[in-house]
Chains A and B, each alone.
Chain A
Amino acid sequence: MRGEQGAAGARVLQFTNCRILRGGKLLREDLWVRGGRILDPEKLFFEERRVADERRDCGGRILAPGFIDVQINGGFGVDFSQATEDVGSGVALVARRILSHGVTSFCPTLVTSPPEVYHKVVPQIPVKSGGPHGAGVLGLHLEGPFISREKRGAHPEAHLRSFEADAFQDLLATYGPLDNVRIVTLAPELGRSHEVIRALTARGICVSLVADLRAAEDAVWSGATFITHLFNAMLPFHHRDPGIVGLLTSDRLPAGRCIFYGMIADGTHTNPAALRIAHRAHPQGLVLVTDAIPALGLGNGRHTLGQQEVEVDGLTAYVAGERPDPLGPRSQPACQVAHDPPRACPLCSQGTKTLSGSIAPMDVCVRHFLQATGCSMESALEAASLHPAQLLGLEKSKGTLDFGADADFVVLDDSLHVQATYISGELVWQADAARQ
């Protein structure tokens, strides 16, 4: 992993003329890096009596911790839930391409699938450090199949399961060994879920919920800490029945426990007003996720997601209909009036109205989140870096620019466009205009 040996003699890099995100603020400070970690320059100055070996001028830009995506189902044509012989190279492809979105660590996500798929795919995606080859894999996120029928969203009904019979053993039988797993999303209203949640938490696996409020509160007491994409695939908020949304301000949670919740801020999955309500109710728990599908980075058209087909149109993706497209891929849509979004028009709508994951890259989500909520830049950046790190208990080394943390960071301009991405203090991606 990161080199401890020889760190003291390693080159010292000083990133200067920049603003860094530290302690929740954008400070006008230099960022010092050595041996792949953030260095304390004061210690270097007084104890080692050394100066930087190399200075890099950042042109007044913002340096933020690298983004961490804890829910991404694939991208660039790769589908993590597809059991191929060489899952590894698919993951590697995505890992490399998301560097340009500012993502330095991620959790490849598998949607509801039959056990054979898990047994084949899970062992092929080990935890891995990031580098020039791509973003680091923090572990898998298994979303399903232990979720409820009513709010399964895009997950295929046929493959949903329960663990009534044998609790944790059922889960193990479905997934196989859990060494590479970091997050499991399940529905706590399923019978014996509390045993399962406790068993998973004991193994250091983060448990995420899609549920109603009461079940969710109890699940938090058993160890759950995350709500998978708030608002989507769950019962809507009602003032006498807040649903899991009420978890954000619940007073029945264990003291000092922060509940985290994923938000897909792609401009489609969540109305800006809803984003604002959630953010204002509980800003420290907000985790930006892409929930990206394999169509991320590809053009419009039909693509696969797990065991289903989806239709992509611009920045939106829907579950494709069961019946074949009556208009055919090459013909013109019946409605000649140009309007947006097409799903509002009955003539144009093809297939279903069920959203099927997003195709907005992480940096787009960050910018949209900033603009929709009117929050501070620091808040938006922390939602994509610090909060996911805290969710996974990694905040000492990831999602932060504190001394001793891994030097995974992004260089952003003032409108939060990614100019360059660094992992372990090494430049792993750079925007074209920035290249000399």
Chain B
Amino acid sequence: MKLIILEHYSQASEWAAKYIRNRIIQFNPGPEKYFTLGLPTGLPRDHPESYHSFMWNNFFKHIDIHPENTHILDGNAVDLQAECDAFEEKIKAAGGIELFVGGIGPDGHIAFNEPGSSLVSRTRVKTLAMDTILANARFFDGELTKVPTMALTVGVGTVMDAREVMILITGAHKAFALYKAIEEGVNHMWTVSAFQQHPRTVFVCDEDATLELKVKTVKYFKGLMLVHNKLVDPLYSIKEKETEKSQSSKKPYSD
């Protein structure tokens, strides 16, 4: 695991964004070679707070991605399990997920894999824990009855199959979950802990999220920031790659 500790939310976000950018450039995607970015998904589509709207307003409308290359789990599908199975097939067809980016819940869940989810689970329909419903209530004017109680989610196993996993954790309310995820054992009550067994994980967090970690852990990883920051150094732009090919000798640091 690489634990990247930045001072504030904005710096953590920026580091993560630069890292993703670099990974895409290094991957050198093309018409036959897709960089598959995995993101957690879930709510019904028409709702303004749905992930469709969220993804559109925060990501898709700012970039030139083609709609055909976006796949969001459809919570309104007639046969939800078939929708989930089809999603798994699409991932396989795209060559597997290159990089999965996710967050962590206060209860340590990844995507909607609530405590007790199998660590080898696949994409499926999942009931949501009360904690998650409460956390989501803010999107539904605080009305608990309006918050969906089920969601489609990628499974822990699905994410484990990705070639690389990046988890973003910011804020003091996530500190305990981070502690459970990386300093305690692998446990299905804190599903993010599953990534201790993944060969390539990056945790990006701010100072507040480290409040429950051992001082030793924090000092150790802060000491590595000099090396880790090389991962976000600007690389050549894909458009200029003809003239800058010589710089491609940069090898990403790995565990």
Instruction: Identify the A interface with B (CB < 8 A).
Output: 30, 41-42, 45-46, 48-51
Chain B residues with CB below 8 A from A50, complex form:
67
Instruction: Identify the B interface with A (CB < 8 A).
Output: 45, 52-53, 56-57, 60-61, 64, 66-68, 70, 72
Report whether over half of chain A's contact residues are helix, strand or loop; otherwise say mixed. helix
Chain A residues with CB below 8 A from B60, complex form:
45
Contact across chains for B67 and A45 when beta carbons are under 8 A apart: yes
Chain A residues with CB below 8 A from B52, complex form:
42, 46
Number of A-B contacts (CB under 8 A): 25
| Given A46-B45, A46-B52, A46-B56, CB of A41 within 8 Å of CB of B61 | yes
Chain A residues with CB below 8 A from B72, complex form:
46
Chain B residues with CB below 8 A from A48, complex form:
67
Chain A residues with CB below 8 A from B56, complex form:
41-42, 45-46
- Cross-interface CB contact of A49 among B45, B53, B57, B67, cutoff 8 Å: B67
Chain B residues with CB below 8 A from A46, complex form:
45, 52, 56, 67, 72
**Closest Cβ neighbor of A45 among chain B residues:** B67
* CB proximity of B73 to chain A, nearest CB, Å: 13
* CB proximity of B7 to chain A, nearest CB, Å: 28
Q: How far is the CA of A50 from the CA of B56 in the complex (A)?
A: 13
23 A–B pairs (Cβ distance < 8 Å), ordered by A: A30-B61, A41-B56, A41-B61, A42-B52, A42-B53, A42-B57, A42-B61, A45-B56, A45-B60, A45-B61, A45-B67, A45-B70, A46-B45, A46-B52, A46-B56, A46-B72, A48-B67, A49-B67, A49-B68, A50-B67, A51-B64, A51-B66, A51-B67
* CB proximity of B69 to chain A, nearest CB, Å: 10
* CB proximity of B8 to chain A, nearest CB, Å: 24
* CB proximity of B65 to chain A, nearest CB, Å: 9
The 10 closest A-B pairs by CB, nearest first: A49-B67, A42-B56, A45-B67, A46-B52, A49-B68, A51-B66, A45-B60, A45-B56, A41-B61, A50-B67
**Closest Cβ neighbor of A49 among chain B residues:** B67
Q: How far is the CA of A30 from the CA of B63 in the complex (A)?
A: 12
Pick the most buried of A30, A45, A49, A51: most chain B CB atoms within 10 A of its CB: A45
Chain B residues with CB below 8 A from A49, complex form:
67-68
* CB proximity of A128 to chain B, nearest CB, Å: 36
**Closest Cβ neighbor of B69 among chain A residues:** A49
Pick the most buried of A41, A42, A46, A50: most chain B CB atoms within 10 A of its CB: A46
Chain A residues with CB below 8 A from B45, complex form:
46
Q: How far is the CA of A41 from the CA of B63 in the complex (A)?
A: 13
**Closest Cβ neighbor of A42 among chain B residues:** B56
Q: How far is the CA of A368 from the CA of B72 in the complex (A)?
A: 49
Chain A residues with CB below 8 A from B70, complex form:
45
Q: How far is the CA of A36 from the CA of B45 in the complex (A)?
A: 27
Q: How far is the CA of A46 from the CA of B45 in the complex (A)?
A: 10
* CB proximity of B45 to chain A, nearest CB, Å: 7
Given A45-B56, A46-B45, A51-B66; 6 other pairs, CB 8 A cutoff: A41-B61, A45-B67, A46-B72, A48-B67, A50-B67, A51-B64
